[in-house]
A and B are shown apart, each in its own frame.
Chain A
């Protein structure tokens, strides 16, 4: 009997359709973007030159610095969202000569490998992915499609306490690859697979990635352009939480059984729906806007699962890196004044020790490898349509670990191999990669934005000279245009949850930043895909503290206002609105920490 999973009830869900391109909307976005940037410069010029409170520079300068840093993000967003340029779709490839220069070699049908990378996931979950991979259709029967389970957990039956992945692979009649160590984590696992296979194209799937039957038909055609190194498809999470009736949440949480009270609660709150996509996992904003727009700059990076690659590209990168590494080591020997025979001797041993590494051994191997390939003049394509489905993180603990890994990995690239100074990248690519990395510095300014109203409430000092006409004259046009620009850029996509998570994840991102700055080694945490309703309260203590301080501050200031002793009534009103916005954003993390689906309550 097939194992039951929590996501079985979501099997009937269908993916979203990508937003149709509209050139007039793009032009409107560009127009609005230019105005936003101009207004932003005017606002910051006024802020730095005329608005600082000379009696409280300790407060004024951090805020205006935070605003300036945040404005850099706005500029990069306008540039990276500038235009949409979906690649032209093409029919699937049949022969190798369609995608490679084979010169005098005899032509043959292409070979395609499908890699399902696994570490410790439930084998029955992997079985579902294998079965869906087997259902992948292809119009040419002579094209060989081989499926490989890449087991990095050594679950071949040797350890009886572990599930037997090898047995499942055998039962499903697919290939099984294993290695004796976990060096390089997922990148190492893929490297091992490439060493044991020979497909011209290979698909990367995670243990929970369920490819749709037409995955290959829709993606292989792009490789007819010989400079295309990989095609990424959107990762669609089909198990995000459904909206719940607020009345049901209240009655379940407080275990109210009285029918009359339940009826009243239902009457009052019955129409309000909450908790839809409580973990902000809906990836549409990222895949349908952020990554898709990067096609314009040839800067769409690979996100691992749901991508298809040209073997030649990653192997050429591996060979190049190999040669560079040997050269570097040889130079080190020369610097140490070693004699020629000694150098030749040691070079041989280096050659033997040095490995070919197709995917960078890094916590963010996908983005790092993408950057290396882009700098080597390869092209990437972000395919707009969903071709597979995946599982999302189901508890806050896993969510935090996953996002901290993304943050630490990206920040690590910034400090070790910064895209701004990377040779071979175009300016568009440099800005796109920097934009991704820059977003992980956001906690620095978000923290200031969160603390400012609290500081005002307790110090009764303004970070600006005054919330005067001049302030609003500069601030409002910029903010309004900024909102219009983002709305046009993300047309058709709800951004509310994403905005909330951008702000409320500040603490974890700050920890990630500090971890990288302190030189800690970035770990590759495998994302947990099982449900784990562990107590996550410790994760939201900073959020609770900030909300608590804000509420105390508002109460204290209200009392001052009522008693007629508040010296800055306009400042209070402005900061109260600001606080409400902050609390709304922060509260999502607390709700996520306490969230359990209805059946878990029952």
Chain B
């Protein structure tokens, strides 16, 4: 067995490289939705139908878009989510 000791280091380096590649790949997969997917729609639940807060939210979206913090794809995504939530809440409230 001892005569194969020289293999440990190359194996260790190959493992390190593979691990690093796996880690980079995993980090790439993470997105904010992994953390808040369930919670964010609740902001616009029927209980929170304050017109002012919706207006404020829309305003913040546009400010962030103008400042370059949001790109058009993200803006579109957030607006769709917003409109769906508003639609859902109004459906719930209707008789």
B23 and A567 contact, CB distance less than 8 A: no
B69 and A35 contact, CB distance less than 8 A: no
A567 and B20 contact, CB distance less than 8 A: no
Query: Smallest distance from the beta carbon of A24 to chain B beta carbons, Å?
Result: 11
B20 and A30 contact, CB distance less than 8 A: no
**A38 and B20 alpha carbons, distance in the complex (Å):** 6
Given the known interface contacts A30-B16, A34-B20, A39-B20, the answer about A477 and B27 at a Cβ–Cβ threshold of 8 Å is yes
Inter-chain contacts of A42 with B (CB < 8 A): 24, 27-28
**A42 and B24 alpha carbons, distance in the complex (Å):** 7
Given the known interface contacts A30-B16, A42-B24, A462-B68, the answer about A567 and B63 at a Cβ–Cβ threshold of 8 Å is yes
Of the candidates B19, B27, B69, the one whose C-beta lies within 8 Å of that of A465 is B69
Interface residues of B in 1-47 (CB under 8 A from A): 12-13, 16-17, 19-21, 23-24, 27-28, 30-32
B68 and A466 contact, CB distance less than 8 A: yes
B71 at the interface (CB under 8 A from A): yes
Q: Is the interface of A mostly helix, strand, loop or mixed?
A: helix
B21 and A38 contact, CB distance less than 8 A: yes
**A167 and B20 alpha carbons, distance in the complex (Å):** 66
Given the known interface contacts A35-B19, A567-B63, the answer about A466 and B24 at a Cβ–Cβ threshold of 8 Å is no
B64 and A34 contact, CB distance less than 8 A: no
Q: Is the interface of B mostly helix, strand, loop or mixed?
A: helix
Number of interface residues of B (CB under 8 A): 22
**A466 and B68 alpha carbons, distance in the complex (Å):** 6
The 8 A CB mask of A175-207 against B (1 = contact, 0 = none) is 000000000000000000000000000000000
B67 and A568 contact, CB distance less than 8 A: yes
Q: Which residue of B lies closest to A476 (CB)?
A: B27
Inter-chain contacts of B61 with A (CB < 8 A): none
Interface residues of A in 21-44 (CB under 8 A from B): 27, 30-31, 34-35, 37-39, 41-42
Query: Smallest distance from the beta carbon of B7 to chain A beta carbons, Å?
Result: 15
B86 at the interface (CB under 8 A from A): no
Which residues on B are within 8 Å of A, measured CB to CB?
12-13, 16-17, 19-21, 23-24, 27-28, 30-32, 63-64, 66-71
4 smallest CB-CB distances across A and B, nearest first, come from A466-B69, A38-B20, A34-B16, A42-B24
Known: A34-B17, A462-B68. 16 other contacts (CB 8 A): A27-B12, A31-B12, A34-B13, A34-B16, A38-B20, A39-B24, A39-B27, A41-B24, A54-B68, A465-B69, A466-B67, A466-B69, A468-B69, A469-B31, A567-B67, A570-B69
